[in-house]
Structure 1
């Protein structure tokens, strides 16, 4: 997000604790110790992983292999899909003029106001269905945290900024995003894109580095052109993209002909490696507590994942959106 020098300085100071914590946990001896703890946790939980039906197991296999799987709400046949599209689509449609005004004003990352989602709890709760939690847990290998949902709005202005540049997400070693398109999305409508190349992966052994890159910068980082490894996810309204946005470079391709709105549901390990880079949807903790009040024990544990974060890490303010 752009701003005045004063605003930029205030943002830098606000985010300094989170960036310092990342730097500390990225020190070689610390990250190796964290990696050993993580490996032991994966081993302990292996026999408790949920069993999956054939179609859901295929999603996890595709994620393990290439970090991405494209399907649709119709094929998934999850309850509440029609209501989800209707409610979220209406919120996106009502937000069009505000989104375009924000883009003209220089806003880099545009989402439908989180308060609107909080007033439509079914949109948030859809991501807590047991099947989705099972898929996330089977892929991540541990009990999962649910970081909620945002409606991302991409204005068709062609700007390659913020999340429209190649990047990897910061929250954890593996981050499962489930995107649901609220518009028909073609090559000029801002499709989600990912580079399915395993030599781009990060780890506790090698460290975690987070760079924004355009095509030329990405070629420099990777050592060769990534063009043949790009998966561009076009599709009609209701297309669903399961993707790991931490292990693989990805972006929302700059939209040039049509705006694009999409739901993005987020899952990672409970607790995640970098809790200070989580809570990216803009929903407040009070709003989430209210939405989680009548859930099952498993759902509440996923939604209220911050309760599992070590007390010292809980003191670190969340990095700004």
Structure 2
């Protein structure tokens, strides 16, 4: 019942009249912001081109070279290690989505602030074509129990037309250790005038929606601790592959447009609005505006309570 208002709002947004209005408003916003989109070069441009072409670009913290990366990764590794026993207990009890507590994330501001680095914001803004909203960060802990449930099932994210996640592995991740996977192929007819509908998918559903040879476009991101992947998770089916041989800890920083189509499916980090305001307080005006994106929503959008995690 808690998610009923959000799901009702999604159905309304997908109605022909409302969807047409939202599309027109989105196109107008893109046109107005076109001359203000950051101009990129080097690796940052390669990342955006990779997102446009494939929906994913894999690199590393060392190659990115962002300040504070070592501190952010060390904090994530410490939190993951301290959470391991609790994560295994929760998974054994059947919990599908196992994350380090938002309070623990809030206690390590270097993790939250890393996601607001100006270069990251420029990359995301160049891809979206609009000012950026930063939806915080999750540390998702995947227990090596082989279960295919929750985010380990194929799915697309609900927050907006386009959503960017920046994932960072806290430990080495090999095949069988729960690597992040994405299918580069986009589903014809999803979104736009057809509206936005979401589902978990198995192999049969993917073959029906994407074509029987969809596995040719599957990308599996194995890599060492500090591997970074930029991924477009609203347009592309993705999952954390079920882990069999080793647990996986990964940080996921989340981004979408400043006025997302589905604000009632945002705020997925679990951080409270007061925690976000506190973490954003010491940062510059652009960074604060990205973190405090809800303040710019229309009143009707603010009235729909967000769905649960």
- Counterparts of 2:24 and 2:280, CA distance in 1: 33
2:266 alignment partner in structure 1: 278
| CA 1:201–1:299: 2 relative to 1, 3 Å | farther
Residue 215 (structure 1) aligned to one of 198, 203, 219:
203
- Identify the match of residue 154 of structure 1 among 110, 131, 142: 142
TM-score scaled to structure 1, two decimals? Answer: 0.94
What is the correspondence of 1:284-299 to structure 2 with a 5 Å cutoff? Answer: 284-299=272-287
Q: Summarize the Cα distance change of 1:201–1:148 in structure 2 as closer, same or farther, 3 Å threshold.
A: farther
Aligned counterpart, 1:84: 72
Quote the offset at 1:220 in angstroms: 2.8
Q: Does the 8 A contact of 2:185 with 2:210 survive in 1?
A: no
Residue aligned with 1:198, SS: coil
| Range 46-55 or range 230-239, more displaced | 46-55
Q: Do the aligned partners of 2:186 and 2:210 also contact (CA within 8 Å) in 1?
A: no
Distance 1:67 1:28, change over 3 A: same
Pair 1:201–1:63, CA change in 2 (3 A): farther
2:232 match: 244
Report SS of the residue matched to 1:179.
strand
Asked if residue 27 in structure 1 is aligned to residue 18 in structure 2, the reply is no
Q: Distance in 2 between matches of 1:37 and 1:25?
A: 13
How far did 1:308 drift? 1.0
What's the RMSD between the two structures over aligned residues?
1.0
- How many Å apart are 1:217 and its aligned residue? 2.6
2 CA distance for matches of 1:212 and 1:97?
Answer: 28
Among residues 267, 289, 296, which one is paired with 1:301 in the alignment?
289
Q: CA deviation at 1:200?
A: 4.8
Give the Cα separation in 2 of the matches to 1:165 and 1:200: 21
User: What pairs up with 1:196-211 in 2 under 5 angstroms?
Assistant: 196-200=184-188, 202-211=190-199
TM-score by length of 2: 0.98
Unaligned runs of 5+ in 1: 1-12
1:183-213 Cα deviation digits (max 9, x unpaired): 1111101011011013356322121110101
1:88-113: per-residue Cα shift (whole Å, max 9, x none)?
10000000000000000000000001
> Pairwise mapping of residues 170-181 of structure 1 onto structure 2 (< 5 A)?
170-181=158-169
Aligned partner of residue 187 in structure 2, secondary structure: helix
Superposed, 1:50-199 pairs within 5 Å as 50-199=38-187
For the Cα contact (< 8 Å) 2:173–2:225, is it kept in 1?
yes
- Superposed displacement of residue 225, structure 1: 3.7
Q: How big is the shift at 1:58?
A: 0.7
Whether the 8 Å contact between 1:200 and 1:247 is mirrored in structure 2 is no
SS in 2 for 1:187: coil
1:158–1:256 CA contact under 8 A, matched in 2:
yes
The number of aligned residues is 309
How far, CA to CA, are the matches of 1:49 and 1:123 in structure 2? 26
2:301 to 303, 307, 313: 313
CA distance in 1, matches of 2:232, 2:99: 20
Asked if residue 47 in structure 1 is aligned to residue 9 in structure 2, the reply is: no
The aligned counterpart of 2:249 is 261
SS in 1 for 2:11: helix
Unaligned runs of 5+ in 2: none
